[in-house]
Structure 1
Amino acid sequence: MSTAAALFLATPAAATDKGPGAPGIGDSYFPNHGNGGYDARHYRLNLSYQPGTDLLQGKATILASATQHLTRFNLDFLLKVDSVKVNGRPATFARSGLHELEITPAHTLTRGTPFVVEVTYADTPSKVPVPDETGGFTPWIATADGALALGQPQVAWWWFPSNDHPLDKATYDISISVPQGTQAVSNGIKTRERTSNGRTTSTWVMDKPMATYLATLFIGQLDVRTGRSSSGLPVTTSYSKNLGRYDAAAKESVEQTPQIVDWLAGQVGRYPFHSMGGSVTSALPGFALETQTQPVYDPRFFSSGPDTYVVVHENAHQWFGDSIAVKDWKHIWLNEGFATYAEWMWSEKLGEGTAAEVADFFYNDLPADDPFWQVKPGDPGMVDLFHNATYYRGGMALQALRTEVGDAAFFSIIRAWVRSKEHGNAETSEFVALAERISGKQLDALFDTWLFTPGKPATSPTGAAVAAKTSSAVAEPPSIAKIKKMHELLKEHKP
């Protein structure tokens, strides 16, 4: 038995008040995501990957704490499992559906007691069956020189066992062994790298809580660059070596990450992590994703030249979505609406249209009979989770709030939100309550109108009357074409 296992060995529970943990954490849209009965605290992943064959071998060590007397518990996972231990002792395991791994420990786990789970596994992730609930989307992309793990809301199932829901964040250390000459990039800070017997192993540490879908793995022939931000934080950027015509524009854009993060911090408050960066893959995933401290970009964002708007969007998520994660996926506008509004503020910084002008343009550009207005960003439904309304109407809601309470109160609200919810989880009602407390205004009607009421609001986000489509008042800020093009790709292949 390992020292860690002995340290966290649970004693048998009383005969009463015990049973299996739930196979889902209780999400409104994804009831089978996550699991009940325990809280994951830390993941230690020791992985070995072979490009070409797509063979992934791993050992996941999970430190968790039981939230009830547990006779059995689940992990979300798709790959073939060789063995499972709980507190150093062999445990029985079985499949329930495609992605549920049911584990029965040798002894009941006592509520409130930490325990250690060890899962060893080996499989080819690109060849595992795809569950219906992902819409046919496979977030593991095998390439000629490596692989990419990138998806939302599901991705962890394809490369490590987990309690797969943003409500159960944890810290991580991820060690990945690849053939010498191949590079591997993950989240956080690379603390170690060594080469032996033709293989290179690097270790990445994420010391702040992270939702499972924000963990990423980028393996291939990469141009990896390291540096420091103006505040002294380590910066890691990585680029596939075969980006071709996208290469120069991609690097020019993503290399501006430290400056963009500094600007965002000036707007909303202290950057919440100890490193930053970004990766551009040639795998063409069809979107960008805010993977914690290391956003990943499809190179086609840079097909027309440098694009800093997408870099702003994904790094705004480091606050809104990563540090502050949703309690339930129905609150997704708290991620996407805020990141979209950050783009609009960036437009103002660049002199390409104020945030108010951009918000009013999108409001006026979409006629009242457009289906866009029937999606409620505050509760869009699973099918419309990444609908444009979640982004644009979510951003309009923030502009409407800014119009109602004024700039001073608006930014006080945003900064207080970031500070009070740092590294936690949140829901819409909590943001509304905070906004009302700081502004001293009753705001239920405003948020109901913009987030929960189908149909086009009677006035624009700045309080202006509806403009006629032929009116000269519907001026197009210079940033609009860039923002529209970026959003077309941003959610193209998300399920």
Structure 2
Amino acid sequence: MKKVLLLAIVFVGIYSATAQTYTRRDSLQGGLRKERTSFDVQRYDLNIKLDPEKKYISGYNDITFKVVENTTKIQLDLFENMKVESIELKGKKLEYKRDNDAVFISFPKELKKGSEETLRFYYSGNPVIAKNAPWDGGFVFSKDGAGKPWIGVAVQGTGASLWFPVKDHQTDEPEKGASVKVAVPNGLMDVSNGRFMGSTDLKNGYTRWDWEVKNPINNYTITLNVADYAHIHDSLRGLDLDYYVLKQNEEKAKTHFEEVKPMLECFQSKFGQYPFFEDGYKLVETPYLGMEHQSAVAYGNKYKKGYMGSDMSGTGVGMLFDYITIHESGHEWFGNSITSKDIADMWIHEGFTTYSETVFVECLYGYDKAMKYITGQQMSVANNKPVIGVFGVNKEGSGDMYFKGALMLNTLRHVVNDDDKWWKMLLKYSETYKKKVIDTETVIAFFSKETGMNLTPFFNQYLRYKNPPILQLKLNNGKLEYRWQTDEANFKLPVGIIANGKEVRLFGTNDWKTSDVDIADLKDVALQKTKFYVKVQKL
């Protein structure tokens, strides 16, 4: 996730049924206009009360921002079912106008470039309740085994403005972090992002739980988790590890989460130091399957191996680990640290994170099992629409961003054909764009430079068209001829085949080439399927 991974057949149904029409609401949420680009959020300080019985939120968000362009109006966002109580600057109420989920705020005097302001946005309401979190955004109001409230929220794609006022666009993360203060009935605990700063008995039947985030943070990963939690603390080389689980699952969790340390050792060796070291690493048990909430990863896989007890790779390898723990934690590097500017480029989150599963398998179980695992994912690629979505309207692309994105990266590894170079390159990528917001063009430019190859056609074919490259093969007077059939022009890519039982590397283009391989029958030629995700067409 960003969103929790669906089976390919479900993806096909969802995406084929989605009408390609976009509304004003879509453009208000997904677009960048002066009312959004004229200011840069520095910090959020969220202070709310949550009433579990009424499923009701009330409170405010202090939004500190720097003015980057003179303006008299800015856009913030809050779902229209939530009530705006008032918006204040320096104690004075501001005028505002609502348009769908956008809130356009007017200032009595022009805000000057370079100035820093803090407005307080009071609001209240019953937030949207998810029908099937995390696949649809919203709150989950559940009960634990003792009948106590157990509450979570997941809003990726839907938008953080579902439950608090925010500049709801991925381009702008609060550089100076955030605080999340949530008051809940006595006997319950809130767990949010970052470090626990203490709790305060409000003497009205509620206790407020205070959390502080030191790092920039994605809007949609700001979270709350409410339950009567047990707290388990551990550490790894100075990194705090904290697990918040239902009390009935405390002993089970101590054993099950033992895979966290080898996972973090693996990811830190391949992708660099845990990017939110100052905020610590947490797993928080949730009443929904999971989500990559930064430094407070949502866990709901019920202490099972695989994905809800099954292996989506169909190879058996996926049953060696808990999919939710590994995948959602991988997002701390890819998605939470390295973030896409527009959710149309969400493959930057999901492709790399899905690939991190294979990296984990290779760290713990070796190359062969890793290749078996990722090759098994090929069966779940739909190839029904482009991976990249539509920009400016808050629309993701195909669900193939998960498996196809990972298979593309595995293909690139074997195109590079030098593992030492590949791992150094992947580490450099992760460290170069740590805590930065980027786009597809940035990714392409980086890997092109590091490989010394023009990879624009390569990435474009996998991401901007529905089909992967097709390797066409034919015989001509006992010689193997080959070429690439692609939507992208000037496509060049080496690929490995097995011919007459021997490994052969072909350097294909869109033009027919003749190899040195003598072949009696095309049945004696096979793709190195574990290394390259391409289609083969024998003519």
Please give the TM-score of this superposition, normalised by the length of structure 1. Answer: 0.78
Partner Cα distance (1:457, 1:298) in 2: 37
- Does 2:140 correspond to 1:141? yes
Distance change >3 Å, CA 415–CA 348, structure 1 → 2: closer
Partner Cα distance (2:115, 2:170) in 1: 22
Partner of 1:430: 442
Partner of 1:182: 188
The Cα shift of 1:341 comes to 0.7
- Does 2:161 correspond to 1:157? yes
Partner Cα distance (1:60, 1:224) in 2: 28
| 1:309 and 1:346 in contact (8 A); partners too | no
Distance change >3 Å, CA 473–CA 106, structure 1 → 2: closer
SS at match of 2:274: coil
SS at match of 1:311: helix
- Does 2:215 correspond to 1:213? no
Partner Cα distance (1:234, 1:390) in 2: 32
The code of the aligned residue for 2:53 comes to: G
The Cα shift of 1:348 comes to 2.4
Partner of 1:10: none
| 2:498 and 2:526 in contact (8 A); partners too | no
Partner of 1:451: 463
Task: Specify every segment of 5 or more residues in structure 1 that has no aligned partner in the other structure, as ranges.
Answer: 1-22, 477-495
Partner of 1:375: 385
- Does 2:495 correspond to 1:463? yes
The Cα shift of 1:199 comes to 2.8
| 2:345 and 2:396 in contact (8 A); partners too | no
Partner of 1:203: 210
Could you give the per-residue CA deviations for residues 331-368 of structure 1, whole angstroms, max 9, x where no partner exists?
111111111111112222343744333333434x46xx
Percentage of pairs with the same residue: 22
Could you give the per-residue CA deviations for residues 375-433 of structure 1, whole angstroms, max 9, x where no partner exists?
32244788983744111110011111111112122222211111111111111221221
Higher strand share: 2
Could you give the per-residue CA deviations for residues 185-217 of structure 1, whole angstroms, max 9, x where no partner exists?
000111222335243222111111011001111
Alignment of 1:88-487 (within 5 A): 88-97=91-100, 99-126=101-128, 137-144=136-143, 145-170=149-174, 171-197=177-203, 198-227=205-234, 229-241=235-247, 252-254=255-257, 256-273=259-276, 274=278, 275-281=280-286, 283-284=287-288, 287-299=289-301, 302=304, 303-304=308-309, 307-351=321-365, 353-363=368-378, 365=379, 372-379=382-389, 385=396, 387-405=398-416, 406-458=418-470, 463-465=495-497
Distance change >3 Å, CA 455–CA 26, structure 1 → 2: same
| 1:67 and 1:111 in contact (8 A); partners too | yes
The code of the aligned residue for 1:290 comes to: E
| 2:343 and 2:394 in contact (8 A); partners too | no
Distance change >3 Å, CA 408–CA 380, structure 1 → 2: farther
Partner Cα distance (2:135, 2:353) in 1: 27
| 1:321 and 1:334 in contact (8 A); partners too | yes
Partner Cα distance (1:192, 1:209) in 2: 21
Partner Cα distance (2:151, 2:494) in 1: 45
Distance change >3 Å, CA 252–CA 165, structure 1 → 2: farther
Partner of 1:40: 41
Distance change >3 Å, CA 357–CA 463, structure 1 → 2: farther
The Cα shift of 1:70 comes to 1.7
SS at match of 1:143: strand
The Cα shift of 1:466 comes to 10
Partner Cα distance (1:60, 1:149) in 2: 17
Partner of 1:19: none
The code of the aligned residue for 1:463 comes to: V
| 2:129 and 2:139 in contact (8 A); partners too | no
Partner Cα distance (1:427, 1:317) in 2: 16
Moved more, 374-383 or 265-274: 374-383
SS at match of 1:256: helix
The Cα shift of 1:118 comes to 0.4
The code of the aligned residue for 2:88 comes to: K
Partner of 1:74: 75
The Cα shift of 1:306 comes to 8.2
| 1:44 and 1:62 in contact (8 A); partners too | yes
Distance change >3 Å, CA 316–CA 434, structure 1 → 2: same
Distance change >3 Å, CA 358–CA 451, structure 1 → 2: farther
| 1:89 and 1:106 in contact (8 A); partners too | no
Could you give the per-residue CA deviations for residues 54-109 of structure 1, whole angstroms, max 9, x where no partner exists?
22121211100122222121211122122111233221123211x11221223221
Aligned residues: 436
Partner Cα distance (1:314, 1:339) in 2: 8
Partner Cα distance (1:226, 1:155) in 2: 31
| 2:170 and 2:340 in contact (8 A); partners too | yes
| 1:182 and 1:220 in contact (8 A); partners too | yes
The code of the aligned residue for 1:141 comes to: V
Task: Specify every segment of 5 or more residues in structure 2 that has no aligned partner in the other structure, as ranges.
Answer: 1-23, 144-148, 310-318, 472-483, 485-492, 500-521, 531-539
SS at match of 1:209: coil
Partner of 2:504: none
Could you give the per-residue CA deviations for residues 425-453 of structure 1, whole angstroms, max 9, x where no partner exists?
11122122111222222222322332233
Moved more, 453-462 or 321-330: 453-462
| 2:134 and 2:290 in contact (8 A); partners too | no
Partner Cα distance (2:32, 2:457) in 1: 34
| 1:24 and 1:35 in contact (8 A); partners too | no
The code of the aligned residue for 1:404 comes to: V
The code of the aligned residue for 1:277 comes to: K
Partner Cα distance (1:169, 1:181) in 2: 33
Partner Cα distance (2:186, 2:494) in 1: 56
Q: Alpha carbon RMSD of aligned pairs, Å?
A: 3.6
The Cα shift of 1:218 comes to 0.6
The Cα shift of 1:266 comes to 0.8
SS at match of 2:270: helix
The code of the aligned residue for 2:412 comes to: L
The code of the aligned residue for 1:226 comes to: H
Partner Cα distance (2:400, 2:137) in 1: 25
